[in-house]
Structure 1
Amino acid sequence: MSTSLLGHDERLPLYQRLRDEMLAKIAAGEWLPGEAIPTEAELTQQYGVAVGTARKAVDTLVAEGLLLRAQGRGTFVRRPNFDGSLFRFFRQVSSSGQPQIPESRILLCKLEQASAAARTALQLQNKERCIYLERLRLIDGAPLFHERIWLPASRFAALQDVAPSDFPALLYPFYEQQCGQRIASAQETLTVSTADSALASTLGVNIGSPVVVIERTAVGYDRSPLEYRLSCAAADSFRYQVSIS
């Protein structure tokens, strides 16, 4: 027996309605990151659509970066690598010169009113509150990044009960584990600013030194904004490299 797609906008092409149904399953956690989705043949049988329709729906989600095809293994819900920008733009090496993943240290976790920028990015009402995190990322004990993170309290209230020392290095899987919130994608903007006294002290640079700021807004599979983050690093650790052919 096939599953109906009548709950979706019937003005849309059939493949688009199937794509929306598949996205709803990902957003609801029925299909989890890293897990294989049904095959095109199974989708065809389940939803009563042609194989071309199923393939186009899958192709659309692959193009959107939400699914990943693995040759000979199937199609999987993609788990994005959100540290990619750090590895592209910053020298993360140990004292011996070897590539190294930074240590993470949560300095603060509290409930507070969102900043104006965070409120806009997270599409919050004026009186809605946020879970606010401050985090350091270090190489060989030396600060590389200072991060300020805002999360909607309505979705992330469970983090209030977590001690700073109990936060793991990878936050996004922890969000999923503790709060059931899955990050699907993010948009980042890089700008250059200068260090005020507090940031200069944290990063071990002079006041007024140039710093690179990465502004990130991360969204869930339903495209609702879940995290607003500002990451600051000394500009002397910044690099830009691109291959042009």
Structure 2
Amino acid sequence: MSPPPAADHPVTPLNELARAELAPAFSPLYRQIKGLILQGLQTGEWKAGEGIPSEVELAARFGVSQGTVRKAIDELAADNLLVRRQGKGTFVATHAEQQQQYRFLRLTPDAGAPASLGRQLLHCRRQRAPAWIAKLMHLRAGDPMIEIRRLLHSGGQPVVLDDIWLPGSLFKGLTTERLQEHRGPFYGLLETEFGVHMVRAQEKIRAVAAEEESAAPLQVTPGSPLLSVERLSFTYGDKPVELRRGLYNTTHHFYRNDLH
């Protein structure tokens, strides 16, 4: 017999879910459970780095078999939204974890193992969103926006010039001082202090020539070849919350991607 659900988490029968249209009627049962767990992540019921209830507890909560819950969790783990830890349970994935820190940054040295990149903040300022950024991020032109420019270093040499734009309404306390004080990964700061978790990203990559304005901080001559990487990052519910344009100096590095 399955154990009773926790008192603060009443069972949500699947017929109620169908009426609420939380999942399509034709969706496999494990996909419906996946959607319900994802809903808990979206609403902040389980925050980045926290453990979620066991498979047995979730099965009792949703009124399904443990195998159905396991299959739903397997997919969420494959999507890098959850992390299984042997003997400890299942946890909400966080960019603060060592294995997750550079999930969206694929720059790899020609020789040797990838090393942590040093960061140099050039500026952090508030502005009004120009029309082209607002369109990409589903905002209105003129909405408050935070613009961050920084350099990433490898072995003391600048390798990435990053321009980052964030919606001002989500990151009201983000300042130059806060960024300079933070020692962990950038996305880890956004998770812990602002509750915004980057779960996936889209990238556009092209070769460009360094212009004078970008050549100086990257310590290359104007006209040198660079890799331009434009990334749009999303939180739960496919909501865009970060736009980033990075210029990569690939003289001694390459851009690595694993295809599945």
Question: Does residue 57 of the first structure (1) align with residue 72 of the second (2)?
Answer: yes
Q: Which residue of 2 aligns with 1:113?
A: 128
Distance 1:189 1:238, change over 3 A: farther
The CA deviation at 1:125 is 1.5
- Amino acid paired to 1:191: R
Question: Does residue 35 of the first structure (1) align with residue 53 of the second (2)?
Answer: no
Kept in 1, the 8 Å contact 2:131–2:140? The answer is no
RMSD: 2.8
Q: Distance in 2 between matches of 1:65 and 1:84?
A: 9
- Of the three residues 76, 86, 108, the one matched with 1:90 is 108
- Of the three residues 223, 242, 248, the one matched with 1:227 is 242
Q: Which residue of 2 aligns with 1:207?
A: 222
Equivalent pairs, count: 240
Q: Which residue of 1 aligns with 2:30?
A: 15
State how 1:152-231 maps to structure 2 within 5 Å. 152-160=167-175, 162=177, 165-231=180-246
- 1:156-184, Cα deviation, whole Å (9 max, x unpaired): 12114745533445211111233221222
The CA deviation at 1:152 is 0.6
Q: Which residue of 2 aligns with 1:131?
A: 146
Q: Which residue of 2 aligns with 1:3?
A: 11
- Amino acid paired to 1:91: P
- Superposed structure 1 runs of 4+ greater than 4 Å apart: 240-244
- With structure 1 as the length reference, what TM-score do the two structures score? 0.84
- 1:114-135, Cα deviation, whole Å (9 max, x unpaired): 3444323311122222110001
Distance 1:115 1:82, change over 3 A: farther
- Of the three residues 75, 78, 86, the one matched with 2:90 is 75
Q: Distance in 1 between matches of 2:83 and 2:206?
A: 31
Range 73-82 or range 151-160, more displaced: 73-82
Q: Which residue of 2 aligns with 1:143?
A: 158
Unaligned runs of 5+ residues in structure 2 are none
Q: Distance in 2 between matches of 1:19 and 1:228?
A: 28
Range 170-179 or range 51-60, more displaced: 51-60
- With structure 2 as the length reference, what TM-score do the two structures score? 0.79
Unaligned runs of 5+ residues in structure 1 are none
